[in-house]
Structure 1
Amino acid sequence: MPSVFSRGFQTYLSSSTFSDVVIRVSNRDVGSLRRSSFTMENDPNSTHVSYREYKAHRIVLAHSSEFFDRLLTSQFRESSQKLIDLRYPDPEGSFSVLLKFMYGGILPGLLATTNVVHVMAMADHYLVHELVEICREYILRNVNKNNALMQILMMADDCRLADVVEHTSNILSKNFQFIDDPDFSCLRYEVFYDILHHPYLAVRDERELYEAILRYAKKNKLSTEHINNLLEAVRFRWMTYEQLEKCKAEAVVPQYLLLEAIMARLKVFECAPGHSLSAVPDISESLCVRLRRRISCITFEYDHDFDDRGIIHYLTCGNRWNHSGSRDITVTASSTEMGRASDLLSRTPTELWTKDIPASWFSIDFGLNRGVSPTHYTLRHGGNYRADSLRTWDLQGSKDGKIWVVLRRHNHDTSLVDKFATSTWTIDRDDTPVETVGMPHHAYRFFRILQTARNSSNHNFLVLSGIELYGDLFEWKL
């Protein structure tokens, strides 16, 4: 028999039946929390602030929120008042979303990239812990370089949501070159600094980065020290002579940065044939760190099976960003009975399978100067029939092709059920920062599909004809 509480108390929230308290919430801008002291003692009748009122039930509020539990069961005056003024501002009307969750326990269609940060900040303030986690998961799943990234970053910074700021800043840094005419002027200096000094900042042209910093400095009237700190993120060594002349003429760049750039270029010149290596000036390690931007990163988000947003499609069909000039991805197999191993990269369904041998596998090598940190992967059945479909296998990753790590394990997975059927799976990864030189610890050069038990027809044929990966693609200059 279904529980009488299975639908929550939404009806009572909507009808106000049995309500015993009115909650009044200010429409004041969240950003005003930075600029003024907005406390309980603010005049609720101020003409500068408007309010929304919600009829609610004390028992539901206390049950769903640690904040309200303390407020309504303590000696505070609010515990007996019929009208409670809340000090946390709500310009976006997010308190109504919070209430609906508190009364119903679900948020069908109520979260969006336009409100999730404010809802999360409000849930955090009122100690509705489950909703905080729901919002955090929504952001991790849905925020990407294609949707309101700057807006979400600014809202998260306004609301002081440090983990959301870090997550969105990471995405922004790794996709910096793909953001057209970015306006960072509303970001705090500390946030902008972290973006510019991110280890995987992807920059198409150092001059563009330089100009973005100048625009930011002008709008925010930065001190010389702060401007210099930001400009240290620019690799002046890679600018053209004409660009360096303009930088010098603009008299903004500190002389030591221009001198470092000239020294680095002189070193390359003196290392050329016909010049004595003994004459090469010594350049400090700290200088080398500033001069090199060896690793770049781009993020690929999954939309649908075998779309044009995947890493393999990008490298083999639509590469606009490859530093190395080589698009080669190598595919090998434990054996082949039908087709060629390279057919695994084909966008067109084609028949491909290994011999009937246990532990059959297909492996992909992205190359010496690449690594992939995957979030999703897609497979396509390799037969023009539904038999011999993959059922039990491991997706593995390796940095050297010798030591393999299981990224996702499948047991009796029936996702591939028809001829040339496709399916996509998520991959959990550990994004905990690790101090490493070069590639992040969760990025791999090699990937392998290893069949660990018989297929749907009780054979050992590994029948696949397509694979795609999504996530972060790292490339570095050799």
Structure 2
Amino acid sequence: MAPKDVMTNCHAKSILNAMNALRKSSTLCDVTLRVEQKDFAAHRIVLAACSDYFCAMFTSELSEKDKPYVDIQGLTASTMEILLDFVYTETVHVTVENVQELLPAACLLQLKGVKQACCEFLESQLDPSNCLGIRDFAETHNCVDLMQAAEVFSQKHFPEVVQHEEFILLNREEVEKLIKCDEIQVDSEEPVFEAVINWVKHSKKEREDSLPELLQYVRMPLLTPRYITDVIDTE
């Protein structure tokens, strides 16, 4: 009978469980991460295997390479605890309360699994009241798929999106980008016109000069200067 390689499904999980138990008992740990004056014992090899950030830190000539303590800036101790749990268990608990801290921290430490989990969670939370903010958040952290999903959602639900504060607080360039998009789904141009008028009215003194530029993207007949003035002046 020819020899045969046998693969098991439990080996990797068993190793993770064992290493996590060692971490929790501070056994064989060779580095301590210090975040907000709280210490987290860990194993360099585990961190380096899971994160390009830590791999570069521990394998290059950076000053942290051989230090027993490493200060981590830019995240909270509670977030570090969640990220370390992921490194050692491959599980991350994403919530509405922690996602805005968790995603930037995952990007900082280059933990791709956490970043993906956060993006999937935020996509599941898309709503007319938050899709513009999620789009900007995704763009800031280079989450391309999430950014595209939020853009498509805002286009599909345009009449509802423009009723919320996120739209009213956009700057002129962002309003223009949204209303001139050919993919926005509206039954007529009236919701687009009303959105522009409401945006201008919110801060009339600062925004009124932007009105002619924005209205060039609204394909409505009878948009005479007098009509527009009357609408703007109506409270």
TM-score, structure 1 as length reference: 0.38
The structural deviation recorded for 1:5 is 1.4
Counterpart for residue 157 of structure 2: 175
Contact 2:102 2:118 in 1 (8 A): yes
Q: CA deviation at 1:69?
A: 0.4
Mapped contact 2:33–2:39 kept (Cα < 8 A): yes
Residue in 2 aligned with 1:67? 53
How far residue 8 of structure 1 moved from its aligned partner, in angstroms, is 6.1
Distance 1:205 1:157, change over 3 A: same
- Residue 228 (structure 2) pairs with residue 244 (structure 1): yes
**How far 1:200 moved relative to its partner?**
2.6
C-alpha separation between the residues in 1 aligned to 2:144 and 2:56?
Answer: 25
Once residues 103 and 239 of structure 1 are traced to their aligned partners in structure 2, the CA distance between those partners, rounded to angstroms, is 62
1:35-434 matches, within 5 Å, as 53-87=39-73, 89-90=74-75, 93-107=78-92, 110-116=93-99, 118-140=101-123, 142-145=124-127, 148-179=130-161, 180-184=163-167, 187=170, 190-203=173-186, 205-214=191-200, 224=209, 228-237=212-221, 244-247=228-231
Q: Which has the larger radius of gyration?
A: 1
In structure 2, stretches of 5+ residues that fail to align are: 1-7
What per-residue deviation string (whole Å, max 9, x for no partner) do you get for residues 364-388 of structure 1? xxxxxxxxxxxxxxxxxxxxxxxxx
Instruction: Say if 1:198 and 1:237 are closer, same or farther in 2 by CA, change over 3 A.
Output: same
Q: Give the superposition deviation at 1:131.
A: 3.4
Any idea what SS the aligned residue of 1:183 has? helix
Q: Deviations over 1:299-331 (max 9, x none)?
A: xxxxxxxxxxxxxxxxxxxxxxxxxxxxxxxxx
One-letter amino acid of the structure 1 residue matched with residue 230 of structure 2: K
Higher helix share: 2
- Greater strand content: 1
Q: Which whole-Å deviations, capped at 9, do the CAs of 1:344-383 have from their partners, x for residues lacking one?
A: xxxxxxxxxxxxxxxxxxxxxxxxxxxxxxxxxxxxxxxx
Cα distance in 2 for partners of 1:92, 1:233 equals 48
Instruction: Please report the RMSD computed on the Cα atoms of aligned residues, expressed in angstroms.
Output: 3.9
Match of 1:284 in 2: none
1:152 Cα deviation (Å)?
2.7
Q: Shift of the alpha carbon at 1:62?
A: 0.8
The CA deviation at 1:101 is 1.5
Q: Residues of 2 paired with 1:84 and 1:189: CA distance?
A: 44
> Tell me, what secondary structure is at the counterpart of 1:173?
helix
Count residues in correspondence. Answer: 220
Which residue is 1:283 aligned to?
none
The superposition leaves residues 393-434 of structure 1 with CA deviations (integer Å, 9 ceiling, x where unpaired) of: xxxxxxxxxxxxxxxxxxxxxxxxxxxxxxxxxxxxxxxxxx
Q: 1:244/1:119 Cα in 2 relative to 1: closer, same or farther (>3 Å)?
A: same
In structure 2, the residue corresponding to 1:78 is in which secondary structure? coil
Name the counterpart of 1:22: 32
Q: Is the 8 A contact 2:129 2:165 kept in 1?
A: no
CA distance in 1, matches of 2:131, 2:25: 37
Q: In 2 relative to 1, CA 135–53 (structure 1 residues): closer, same or farther, beyond 3 Å?
A: same
Work out the CA distance in 1 between the residues paired with 2:60 and 2:18. Answer: 26
After TM superposition, give the deviation of residue 104 of structure 1 in Å. 1.1
Say if 1:182 and 1:212, in contact at 8 Å, map to a contact too.
no
Paired letter, 2:47: L
Q: d(CA) in 1 for partners of 2:138 and 2:233?
A: 38
Aligned identity (percent) is: 21
User: Aligned partner of 2:221: which letter?
Assistant: R
Deviation of 1:76 (Å)? 0.5
1:176 to 1:78, Cα distance in 2 relative to 1, 3 A:
same
1: CA distance between counterparts of 2:174 and 2:77?
24
TM-score normalised by length of structure 2: 0.69
Gaps of 5+ in 1: 26-49, 251-478
**Could you give the per-residue CA deviations for residues 59-97 of structure 1, whole angstroms, max 9, x where no partner exists?**
21111101110111111101122332334x236954333
Deviation at 1:175, TM superposition (A): 0.8
Which whole-Å CA distance do the structure 1 matches of 2:122 and 2:151 have between them?
13
